[in-house]
Structure 1
Amino acid sequence: MTGLTHHFLKMNGLGNDFVVLDLRREPLALTDALARAIADRDKGIGCDQLITIEEPRHGGDAFMGIRNQDGGTVEACGNAARCIGRLILDETGKDAVVIETLGGDTVATRADDGNITVDMGAPRLRWDEIPLSEEFQDTRGIELEIGPLGNPIMHSPGVVNVGNPHAVFFVDDADAIDLERSGPMLEHHPLFPERANISVAEVLSPTHLKLRTWERGAGLTRACGTAACAATVAAIRRRKTERRITVSLPGGDLTVEWLPDSENGPGHVLMTGPVMLDYEGDLDPALLSGAAA
């Protein structure tokens, strides 16, 4: 592999950063080890997720593959969907494009001020769709708590799948929660057979949430788009917010709206936010050969 390289884009959505590889034009055997090497912030390019653009698999405009820092494949990433959506919108000249993912299809369109809106589809709310390892009839708040018995720090999270599994704890002060400590434990809790993204949400007003997230396989993140969608759904289900709100993350704000159900089916979740192209370049051939060794 020595002497070979591969072009990449470095992009971000609210500081949630990605290395993007277009495998349609430059095929690459992407192993878990190579994904980890590229994502490594000391020895590689560094990113929260490694994103691949691939040929569509069932009639969309492109397929988006997602690898976390640990090399593992995940189903969905809302911030990455906006980034890839903008690339494919620019490439095709269309008004709307379909980005396929393992978690389902996402439709991307242009919004005001250069922002991108992605339709994340209808949330999955049944216990076996999230999935959970035990049956819960009401997923608005399941039996799970962290802290002293009788006086937990966090309890009764709402659980939602928006292409990937999320648990959202509503707290009085999102900044007061030590997610670096509780996040890894909750991510791997036996209730979550596919692990889960763990968020703490503070209700600032009926139209405003503050959110921090421990992302499955990536750790603390400046922004997680699917977590913003999941938190919005969880808040609406518990009548804490209106249906269209601002979600403030450490990296900035997203606008999330959960449309009501209609005769055409369950309401979809729409997320709108910015996209940035930071820079582009070519992967170091030594990185490719080292990961393959």
Structure 2
Amino acid sequence: MRSGLPILKAHGSQNDILVVEGRPGDYAAEADVPHLVRQLCDRSGPLGGGDGVYFVDLGPAVPQAAFFNPDGSFAKLCGNGMRCVGRLVLDTRDAERAVVRAGSSDFVVLRAESTPEGVRQTAVEMPKVDFDPAEPVVAVAQPHVDTPLPALHPTYGLTALAVPNDHLVAVVEKFDEAELVATGERITAATDVVPRGANLSFVFPLDSGEIYVQTYERGAGLTPSCGSGVVASRAVWSRLGMAGAGERITVRNPGGVATAWLTGDPAAWQATLQGNASYVYRADVDLAAVVAGTLASVRRDTFVDEVEAFAQSRENNHAVLHAAGVHPSVG
């Protein structure tokens, strides 16, 4: 077991990710990993907390990654976090393309051009989109496309899909954050209609072919960005005939700006998600102190240029959203 804990804090669209080089078992017994993750993600702690921890073993030819939610539970994927892991792999190997394995799935990660503000970007080929999953998202006939479910919302057409986690998506003529929250809460309560619960995204068309997507995440509520929510929304946008599958659509969230496009068979589109993978700081901390909750301070090596570049990008993004009448409460 190691005594030191090397941390890279990064974020994708303001989803804060603590990236730890190595496997979970290098730092804790399997039963103790959830506690370690909770300590690392504690927002009141000296690390500033995070929205999850990605462990990544850079040694194998195909690096192995494992993601844990801030409550310590294991998750198959964090799309925004995978961009951060992908960038670390690309930087470490001085490569333009690499494959990262998370669980039983392999993800192609690609270096992408920086934004005009100087924000570093990575693209990730996400899991295939499924409008007719073996385990239905909603307890009605599949596929369920752009059709109201009165128990969830009286008028909005909802589309159900898996990417692979469950999503419901509605295209709206006017964005109302309170309505998003209320509908998301109804989804949580309506277990007879949505047996496992689902993330809910509202898609609001902007000028110049861009779209605004905000997601009410199952178990988390409103978040600055949801990578799988962006992918689900982009797929629904083409399923409803609003854009060709191969078009690179700019997707704005409260947390940042991404680009998404689709390739392959419309029955199982392959989505690519491109967006920021910004480094915030590096730190080496004492593992025992983190576990015990006695870590008092952290010496951070901050990526000042990257932090400032993203701050400018965030300001520009919010100016566009405000001009469109969108004033998110998060991000």
Same fold (TM over 0.5): yes
TM-fit CA distance, 1:198: 1.8
Aligned amino acid, residue 66 of structure 2: G
1:52–1:217 Cα change, 3 Å: farther
Alignment pair present for 1:183 and 2:184: yes
Q: Deviations over 1:62-88 (max 9, x none)?
A: 222222223222222221111111111
Question: Could you tell me how far apart the structure 1 residues matched to 2:205 and 2:169 are?
Answer: 12
- Contact 1:127–1:134 (8 Å) recurs in 2: no
Corresponding residue for 1:110?
Answer: 111
8 Å CA contact 1:199, 1:227 repeated in 2: yes
Partner of 1:248: 252
Q: Which shifted more, 42-51 or 12-21?
A: 42-51
Is 1:75 aligned to 2:76, yes or no?
yes
Cα 1:192–1:166, aligned 2, differ >3 Å: closer, same or farther? same
Supply the distance in 2 between the matched residues of 1:25 and 1:126 (Cα, whole angstroms): 34
Three-state SS of the structure 1 residue aligned to 2:74 is coil
Give the Cα–Cα distance (whole angstroms) in 2 for the partners of residues 115 and 221 of structure 1. 20
What amino acid maps onto 2:216 in structure 1? W
Q: Are the equivalent residues in 2 in contact too, given 1:86–1:116 (CA < 8 A)?
A: yes
Q: Distance in 2 between matches of 1:103 and 1:232?
A: 25
Closer/same/farther in 2, CA of residues 61 and 143 from structure 1, 3 Å limit: same
What does residue 126 of structure 1 align with? 132
Contact 1:96 1:108 in 2 (8 A): yes
**Residue identity in the other structure for 2:80:** N
User: How many Å separate the matches in 1 of 2:97 and 2:175?
Assistant: 35
Q: Cα gap change, 1:282/1:145 in structure 2, threshold over 3 Å: closer, same or farther?
A: farther
With over 3 angstroms needed to count, the CA separation of the structure-2 counterparts of 1:87 and 1:267, relative to structure 1, is same
SS of 1:232's partner is helix
Distance 1:144 1:23, change over 3 A: farther
TM norm structure 2:
0.74
Give the equivalent residue in structure 2 for 1:22.
21
Amino acid corresponding to residue 142 of structure 2 in structure 1? Q
Q: Distance between the aligned counterparts of 2:207 and 2:121, measured in 1?
A: 24
Please state how far the C-alpha of 1:221 moved relative to its aligned partner. 1.6
Aligned to 1:271: 273
Structure 2 counterparts to residues 128-147 of structure 1, below 5 A: 128-129=134-135, 131-132=136-137, 134-141=139-146, 144-145=149-150
CA contact (8 A) 1:233 1:258 kept: yes
SS, match of residue 54 in structure 2: strand
Which residue in the other structure is 2:8 paired with? 9
**Structure in which a larger fraction of residues adopt helix:** 2
Q: Look up the equivalent residue of 2:254 and give its one-letter code.
A: P
- Which residue of 1 is the match for residue 97 of structure 2? 96
Alpha-carbon distance change, 287 to 188 in structure 1, aligned in 2, over 3 angstroms: farther
2:55 pairs, out of 52, 65, 78, with 52
Task: Report the 3-state secondary structure (helix = DSSP H, G, I; strand = E; otherwise coil) of the residue aligned with 1:47.
Answer: coil
Which deviates further from its counterpart, 71-80 or 184-193? 184-193
Indicate if the aligned counterparts of 1:160 and 1:230 stay in contact, CA closer than 8 A: yes
Alignment of 1:106-255 (within 5 A): 106-113=107-114, 114-129=120-135, 131-132=136-137, 134-141=139-146, 144-145=149-150, 152=154, 155-187=156-188, 189-190=190-191, 191-204=193-206, 207-243=209-245, 244=247, 245-255=249-259
Quote the sequence identity (%).
28
Note if contact 1:165-1:197 (Cα within 8 Å) is conserved in structure 2: yes
Cα deviations by residue, 1:116-167 (Å, 9 ceiling, x for unpaired): 11111421221425x436352223235534677xxx3x63321222232221
Contact 2:9 2:282 in 1 (8 A): yes
Q: Runs of 5+ in structure 2 lacking a partner?
A: 115-119, 295-331
* Cα offset, 1:97, TM superposition: 1.1
Query: What's the secondary structure of 1:222's corresponding residue?
Result: coil
Q: Distance in 2 between matches of 1:82 and 1:91?
A: 14
CA deviation vs aligned residue, 1:176-196 (integer Å, no higher than 9, x gap): 434445434424642444432
Root-mean-square deviation (Å): 3.1
Secondary structure of residue in 1 paired with 2:206? strand
Q: Match for residue 84 of structure 1?
A: 85
Answer yes or no: is the 8 Å Cα contact 2:42–2:48 preserved in 1.
yes
Whether the 8 Å CA contact 1:205–1:241 is kept in 2: the answer is: no
Query: What amino acid does structure 2 have at the position aligned with 1:122?
Result: K
Shift of 1:290: 4.4
Cα distance change on mapping 1:192 and 1:102 into 2, 3 Å? farther
Matched, 1:41 2:43: yes
Deviation at 1:45, TM superposition (A): 3.5
Alignment TM-score, normalising by the size of structure 1:
0.82
The code of the aligned residue for 1:110 comes to: R
Task: From the superposition, tell whether residues 213 and 103 of structure 1 become closer, same or farther in structure 2 (CA, over 3 Å).
Answer: farther
